[in-house]
């Protein structure tokens, strides 16, 4: 299959391009498109055969359910039922935006989307291209991140082509995504809502609206709550080490690996401090977690392309998206210091 990449205006997406992409979706094909978090690989959520193409293209295990993206309330009621009142409070506050809500599913949704489960993850993305595509297709769009399974999530069309060349007919290139870390996932089907994946929207922001939430739970009664969380994620080819404790701690770890190609990802702006490193990348301005979140997955891919043996990442502060970022770095890491 030949993969076409079409540049698209992020604020005012060209109608003809949107029509072309939507027509592929309506015909049961897949399309990669930008959202405000990361690029998604989308298919008509009501078409089981189309959704299977996503799993094939990504090499994604069939037991890992997908997020369904909607553009309006009608689509919400088409796919979800028994929606609790606090769900509407959250939608009011955070939609469109990087919050995914897990609800009871309706029968209209084929079981391949939800990995056989009776719940469905839903989100309304805050991106004109994603919005226009869903609206023009006229159907909810199931879309995981557009990376190959276990690779870092794509934040540019170039990342998507690295993983998906020949596997999707179309990639809409809307430039670099704004947030760079995947959406927060919140389960509202349990008595007390539970945070399944950290993201830009934090636990405390959610609790301000709906009261107490069970913090990030990997397992409940021995059962994995969010299947996606059990797989090794965002794995770079190199060994990744997360280091807290600043410059001195980073330098100490570097001395352990003198013979290797060491790449350092840091907040420290005077890179000369790490002159022994093969390369040093700076996350962004000191302690700006938003910029670090935006750059992290992209930096991981650059380290891989540069042939890194070891990637040392300086731990970001916890504020804002920082907590979610630390979660993603930890999942990619083979060692934490
Ligand atoms: O920001 C995002 O959420 C991006 C963009 C494209 O929207 N999408 C994304 O999708 O990150 P994906 O498939 O890479 O991650 C979806 C996560 C997985 O951890 C999956 O297990 C979880 O959501 N999930 C999906 N449906 C679920 C459900 N019914 N119950 C619990 N967890 C669910
Ligand atoms: Mg993903």
Taking the mean position of all CA atoms in its chain, how far away is CA 287? 22
Q: What are phi and psi of 225, to 5 degrees?
A: -80, -50
The pLDDT, as a whole number, for residue 61 is 92
3-class DSSP assignment, residue 47: coil
Q: Indicate if ligand 1 lies below 6 Å from the C-beta of 227.
A: yes
Rounded CA separation 21/221 (Å):
43
Ligand 2 centroid – CA 60 distance (Å):
9
Nearest ligand (C-alpha, residue 149): 2
Residue 124 contacts residue 93 (beta carbons within 8 Å): no
CA distances from 265 to 37, 214, 262, 316 (A): 21, 32, 10, 10
Maximum Cα–Cα distance across the chain? 59
Q: Indicate if ligand 1 lies below 6 Å from the C-beta of 328.
A: no
Taking the mean position of all CA atoms in its chain, how far away is CA 75? 22
Nearest ligand (C-alpha, residue 182): 1
Rounded CA separation 32/159 (Å):
11
Atom of ligand 1 at shortest distance to CA of 64?
Answer: 21
Asked if residue 96 has a cis previous peptide bond (ω within 30° of 0), the answer is yes
Look up residue 248 and give its DSSP letter.
H
Q: Which alpha helices (DSSP H) does 218-315 contain, by range?
A: 246-256, 289-305
Name the residue at shortest CA distance from atom 31 of ligand 1: 226
E-assigned strand segments in 168-246: 170-173, 184-187, 194-197, 219-220, 223-224, 239-243
Name the residue at shortest CA distance from atom 29 of ligand 1: 120
**Crossing angle for the helix pair 322-332 and 289-305, to the nearest 10 degrees:** 20
3-class DSSP assignment, residue 130: helix
Name the residue at shortest CA distance from atom 24 of ligand 1: 65
The pLDDT, as a whole number, for residue 334 is 79
Q: Indicate if ligand 1 lies below 6 Å from the C-beta of 67.
A: yes
Name the residue at shortest CA distance from atom 7 of ligand 1: 40
Question: Given strand 279-282, what is the order of strands in its sheet?
Answer: 279-282, 262-266, 310-314, 239-243, 335-336
Pocket mutation for ligand 1, best pick of 39, 119, 145, 181 (most atoms within 8 Å of C-beta): 145
Residue 31 contacts residue 133 (beta carbons within 8 Å): yes
Ligand 2 centroid – CA 254 distance (Å):
30
What's the pTM value of the predicted model, to 2 decimals?
A: 0.94
Rounded CA separation 335/331 (Å):
10
Residue 128 contacts residue 68 (beta carbons within 8 Å): no
Pocket mutation for ligand 1, best pick of 38, 60, 188, 228 (most atoms within 8 Å of C-beta): 228
Other beta carbons within 10 angstroms of residue 105's beta carbon come to 23
The pLDDT, as a whole number, for residue 163 is 97
Name the residue at shortest CA distance from atom 13 of ligand 1: 144
- pLDDT tens for the chain, 337 residues long, are 999 999 999 999 999 999 999 999 999 999 999 999 999 999 999 999 999 999 999 999 999 999 999 999 999 999 999 999 999 999 999 999 999 999 999 999 999 999 999 999 999 999 999 999 999 999 999 999 999 998 999 999 999 999 999 999 999 999 999 999 999 999 999 999 999 999 999 999 999 999 999 997 655 554 555 655 555 667 778 899 999 988 888 889 999 988 789 999 988 666 666 778 888 888 877 678 999 999 999 999 999 999 999 999 999 999 999 999 999 999 888 778 8
Q: Indicate if ligand 1 lies below 6 Å from the C-beta of 37.
A: yes
């Amino acid at each position: 299959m030949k993969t076409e990449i079409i540049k698209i205006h992020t604020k005012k997406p060209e109608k003809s391009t949107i029509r072309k992409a939507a027509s592929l979706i309506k015909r049961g094909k897949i399309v990669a498109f930008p959202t405000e978090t990361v690029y998604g690989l989308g298919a008509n959520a009501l078409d089981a055969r189309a959704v299977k193409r996503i799993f094939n293209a990504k090499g994604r295990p069939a037991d890992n359910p997908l997020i369904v993206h909607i553009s309006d309330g009608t689509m919400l009621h088409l796919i979800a039922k028994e929606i609790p009142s606090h769900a509407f409070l959250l939608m009011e506050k955070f939609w469109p935006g990087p919050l995914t809500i897990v609800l009871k599913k309706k029968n209209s949704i084929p079981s391949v989307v939800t990995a056989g489960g009776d719940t469905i993850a839903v989100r309304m993305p805050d991106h004109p291209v994603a919005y226009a595509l869903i609206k023009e297709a006229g159907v909810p769009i199931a879309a995981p991140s557009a990376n190959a399974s276990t690779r870092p999530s794509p934040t540019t069309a170039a990342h998507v082509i690295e993983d998906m060349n020949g596997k999707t007919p179309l990639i809409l290139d809307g430039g670099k995504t704004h947030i760079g870390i995947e959406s927060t996932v919140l389960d509202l089907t349990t008595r007390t809502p539970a945070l399944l994946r950290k993201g830009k929207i934090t636990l405390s922001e959610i609790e301000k609206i709906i009261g107490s939430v069970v913090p990030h739970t990997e397992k409940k009664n021995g059962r994995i709550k969010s299947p996606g969380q059990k797989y090794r994620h965002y794995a770079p080819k190199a060994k990744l080490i997360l280091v807290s404790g600043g410059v001195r701690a980073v330098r100490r770890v570097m001395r352990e690996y003198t013979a290797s190609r060491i790449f350092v990802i840091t907040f420290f702006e005077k890179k000369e401090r790490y002159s022994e490193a093969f390369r040093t990348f700076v996350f962004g301005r000191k302690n700006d977690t938003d910029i670090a979140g935006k750059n992290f997955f992209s930096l991981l891919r650059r380290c891989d392309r540069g042939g890194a043996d070891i990637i040392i990442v300086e731990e970001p502060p916890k504020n804002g998206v920082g907590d979610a970022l630390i979660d993603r770095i930890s999942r990619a890491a083979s060692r934490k210091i």
